[in-house]
Chains A and B, each alone.
Chain A
């Protein structure tokens, strides 16, 4: 057997394979679609907002400073809507942060393994319940409860307190689950060192483990805030339909998302100031949530404590 018996057909040169290139091209197109989506969102929101601010009835300074939003008489000040959004978000976070962190610390530091293995998936399933169900809960349970507690005269049927409280319950599983992941990632050696120095379980979890997981927890909280700002169904069902500038949580007030949903839910005609105005609100919403998500990612990347 010599070299001559080697099959003459075998050429060890790279063969061109058009099929492979075609497939790679298709896959790249798939991946590029997500960039197109982002571009689409920016272009659509930008173009319609541009048309909105181009209208003579609207000025950017009025949009940013005025406290009246009454499209019928040409007043477009974002503050009533933004204020309601901030109020529901604040109330939601007042519920979700302490409870969510409490659940996270309990699950990661105190709970027995079988309790943890039962509660964690339960929380994740609950986090998947559609928000319209939470909206139903706010209107049929939380609002009557608040009315019974504080009196029917003080608490209106539609109010930001009820929407905010239920939104807090909705965001709680998200914050608890993400924070628990962050707490679990803290190495065991830190806890053991704290116990060896005589620290109590409370001191260990709040003064050693919690600070070590702070970047992950802050990211979870910021994600929760971003979710609360963008949440639509709870506020459209329970917070009220009609922009009003009020700081009373028991009064009705419409949030940005609620306004977008109500206006676009009716018979909306294109190229009207109403149609364009919801895109300006969408732009505001997009800027808020985008910045929050960005901050959350930066916190995770920059300030993460890497052990080992």
Chain B
């Protein structure tokens, strides 16, 4: 055997190995930084669109209507202003929709802006650009739209939650979509929670290791991996079409509309989140110590008594945490509801399971799909509302786990 200094002595390779180790370390850190930066960029991109400069044009200057600023005018004066400046027919129609006596000052103000001042946004910018390039923006607008005025506009404002859908971006809000989301989630949870927890109890407390049960278990795992849009197609074929008499409410005496209702959406969504609830409830039930069950059986309790009085109370924090996470999934899902048939433009609030509906993510999708920049701002604002809702739910889940989760 000949002597090979390269092989016997590792010193020459040591330096390069150490260099590579350093490079590797920085690569992994870089990957993490890039990943987090991309995700933070997304949140920044949304946040910066919720406030910003807009260029507005008026048909009637507000200063030519009354002396004091329009924001300070009382409701009665606003009504008078409206009556004096719009056609009698339109005024009667508005009165017919809802008498002015019962309208709030806020809505009357909106009507004045819409019909008398006729403010239209001609251009809009996100906050970062508004702050950095304000001079350039004002110069550009002075050249392109001599009559327009540049001012800041907060897309995210309290009224955004209470205004309903409108084709005028300044008047549009998410009330209809928010109510639709709440109705849908309420019915979904009423259906999915008992069935999901029931399945989990069966699988953990009752099922012995037979063929049927292993099929059940692997089936649930498979369901969790099916794309959500396929649940939408299932809902379209079964709930919207085949069960139309029930989901449209025709069987219960509600005679307008078709199967594309909140009920159909909720049934579809319940099937979609069922696997999530089952799996998390199973884990929570499995974590209950066997000694509790044995003690209960030892005192002569039946299986259901043991489950209901001993196992479920201990497992409940875990079950609730999983359920809340499933709920946030239901609130954020869009694709299946498009297929089930969320309405594209409705202004009337949902009133029950048989109403036509739209939900927050659908509203975001529709505003994003519009070419005008103003609707992008609305989409960003609606995203903020959605994310705040989801974050609240997630925080609740964490709290539930911390406060109640004193597992023995």
Choice from B303, B304, B361, B391 contacting A130 with Cβ under 8 Å: B361
Within 8 A of A (CB), among B1-41: 10, 17-18, 20-21, 23-25, 27-32, 34-36, 38-39, 41
Chain A, residues 225-240, CB within 8 Å of chain B (1/0): the string is 0110111110011000
Cα A139 to Cα B380 with chains together (Å): 12
Interface hub of A136, A201, A232, A285 (most chain B Cβ within 10 A) = A136
Quick check: is B332 within 8 A (CB to CB) of the other chain?
Answer: yes
Chain B CB within 8 A of A286 CB: yes
- A140 at interface (Cβ–Cβ under 8 A)? yes
**A20 contacts B by Cβ under 8 Å:** yes
The reply to whether B223 and A37 form a contact with Cβ atoms under 8 Å apart is yes
Is B227 close to A, CB under 8 A? yes
CA distance A292 to B227 in the complex (A): 12
At the interface, yes or no: B58 with Cβ under 8 Å from chain A?
no
Judged by a CB distance under 8 angstroms, whether A34 is at the interface is yes
Q: Is B139's CB within 8 Å of the partner chain A?
A: no
- Residue of B with least CB distance to A232: B335
- A132 and B361 contact, Cβ closer than 8 Å, known pairs A20-B302, A261-B338: yes
Do the beta carbons of A261 and B332 come within 8 Å of each other?
Answer: no
Tell me if B284 is interfacial: C-beta within 8 Å of chain A. no
Known: A24-B206, A44-B237, A260-B339. A200 touches B230 (CB 8 A): no
Residues on B with C-beta less than 8 A from A230 are: 226-230
Cβ 8 A contact of B195, one of A33, A132, A285 = A33
Whether A23 lies near B304 (C-beta < 8 A) is yes
Query: Which of B162-214 touch A at CB < 8 Å?
Result: 194-196, 198-199, 201-203, 206-207
User: What's the minimum C-beta distance from B196 to chain A, rounded to whole angstroms?
Assistant: 8
The answer to the question of B368 belonging to the interface, with a C-beta cut-off of 8 Å to chain A, is yes
Q: How far is the CA of A257 from the CA of B20 in the complex (A)?
A: 43
Q: A34-B220, A261-B229 are in contact. Are A27 and B390 (CB under 8 A)?
A: no
Judged by a CB distance under 8 angstroms, whether B379 is at the interface is: yes
Residue contact B198 to A31, C-beta cutoff 8 Å = yes
CB 8 Å contact bits of B335-347 with A (1 = contact, 0 = none): 1001101001000
Contact A31 B199, beta carbon cutoff 8 Å: yes
CB contact under 8 A between A200 and B233, given known A30-B198, A31-B216, A141-B42: no
Structural contact, A133 and B28, CB atoms closer than 8 A: no
A211-230 interface bits toward B, Cβ cutoff 8 Å, 1 = contact, 0 = none: 00000000000010011011
Question: Cβ of B227 and Cβ of A34 under 8 Å apart?
Answer: no
Partner of A264, one of B232, B278, B361: B232
* Residue A119 is within 8 A (CB to CB) of chain B in the complex: yes
- List residues 285-300 of chain A with CB under 8 A from any CB of chain B: 285-286, 289-290, 292-294, 297
Q: Which B27-82 residues have a C-beta within 8 angstroms of A?
A: 27-32, 34-36, 38-39, 41-42, 45-46, 49
Within 8 A of A (CB), among B356-395: 361, 364-365, 368-369, 376, 379-380, 383, 386-387, 390-391, 394
Interface Cβ pair total, 8 Å cutoff: 253
Chain B residues contacting A133 (CB-CB under 8 Å) are 42, 46, 364, 383, 386-387
The answer on a CB contact under 8 Å between A285 and B229 is yes
- Taking the nearest CB of chain B, how far is it from the CB of A261, in angstroms? 5
Q: Are A260 and B24 in contact (CB under 8 A)?
A: no
In Å, the complex CA distance between A233 and B335 comes to 6
Say whether B238 contacts A44, CB under 8 Å.
yes
Contact between B335 and A31, CB atoms less than 8 A apart: no
Does the CB pair A261–B335 fall under 8 Å?
yes
Taking CB atoms and an 8 Å cut-off, the chain A residues in 106-150 that contact chain B are: 106-107, 109-110, 119, 122, 125-126, 128-137, 139-141
**Residues of the B chain whose Cβ atoms lie less than 8 Å from the Cβ of A132:** 332, 334, 361, 364-365, 368, 383
Contact B24 A30 (CB under 8 A): no
Q: A31-B198, A31-B202, A169-B39 are in contact. Are A106 and B32 (CB under 8 A)?
A: yes
User: Does A28 contact B25, Cβ atoms closer than 8 Å?
Assistant: no
Task: Return B36 CB to nearest CB of chain A, in Å.
Answer: 8
CA distance A2 to B271 in the complex (A): 61
Which residues from 317 to 356 on chain B have a C-beta closer than 8 Å to any C-beta of chain A? 325, 328-329, 331-335, 338-339, 341, 344
Find out whether the CB atom of A169 lies under 8 angstroms from the CB atom of B38. yes
Is B219 within 8 A of A102, CB to CB? no
Evaluate whether A105 and B46 lie within 8 angstroms (CB atoms) in the complex, with A33-B274, A48-B237, A237-B365 already known: no
Q: How far is the CA of A293 from the CA of B223 in the complex (A)?
A: 10
Residues of the A chain whose Cβ atoms lie less than 8 Å from the Cβ of B304? 19-20, 23-24
Cβ-defined contact, B202 with A27, below 8 A: yes
Contacts A31-B203, A34-B275 hold; do A136 and B46 have CB atoms under 8 A apart?
A: yes
Are A107 and B25 within 8 A (Cβ)? no
Question: Which residues of the partner chain A approach B238 to less than 8 Å between Cβ atoms?
Answer: 40, 44
The answer to whether B42 and A169 touch across the interface, beta carbons within 8 angstroms, is yes
Q: Are A34 and B199 in contact (CB under 8 A)?
A: yes
Q: Which of B28, B368, B386 contacts A106 (CB 8 A)?
A: B28
- Within B214-246, the residues touching A (CB, 8 Å) are 215-216, 218-223, 225-234, 236-238, 241
Residue from the set A34, A109, A286 with the largest chain B CB neighbour count within 10 Å: A34
Q: Which residues of B contact A44 (CB under 8 A)?
A: 233-234, 237-238
Per-position binary interface string of chain A over residues 271-287, scored 1 when its CB falls under 8 Å from any chain B CB and 0 otherwise = 00000001100100110
Which B residue sits closest to A223, measured CB to CB?
A: B225
Interface residues of A (CB under 8 A from B): 17, 19-20, 23-24, 26-35, 37-38, 40-41, 44-45, 48, 98-103, 105-107, 109-110, 119, 122, 125-126, 128-137, 139-141, 169, 172-173, 176, 198, 200-203, 205-206, 223, 226-227, 229-233, 236-237, 257, 260-261, 264-265, 270, 278-279, 282, 285-286, 289-290, 292-294, 297
24 A-B pairs with C-beta separation under 8 A: A24-B303, A31-B203, A31-B216, A35-B216, A37-B274, A38-B222, A41-B226, A99-B31, A107-B32, A109-B28, A128-B329, A130-B332, A131-B334, A132-B364, A137-B42, A137-B46, A140-B380, A200-B21, A203-B21, A230-B228, A230-B230, A264-B341, A265-B339, A290-B225
The 8 nearest A-B residue pairs measured at CB: A102-B31, A230-B227, A130-B332, A30-B198, A202-B24, A200-B21, A232-B335, A27-B202
Q: Contacts A37-B271, A37-B274, A119-B32 given; 17 further ones with Cβ under 8 A?
A: A24-B304, A30-B194, A34-B274, A48-B237, A99-B34, A102-B35, A110-B29, A129-B387, A133-B383, A140-B380, A202-B23, A226-B227, A231-B227, A232-B227, A232-B334, A278-B233, A293-B221
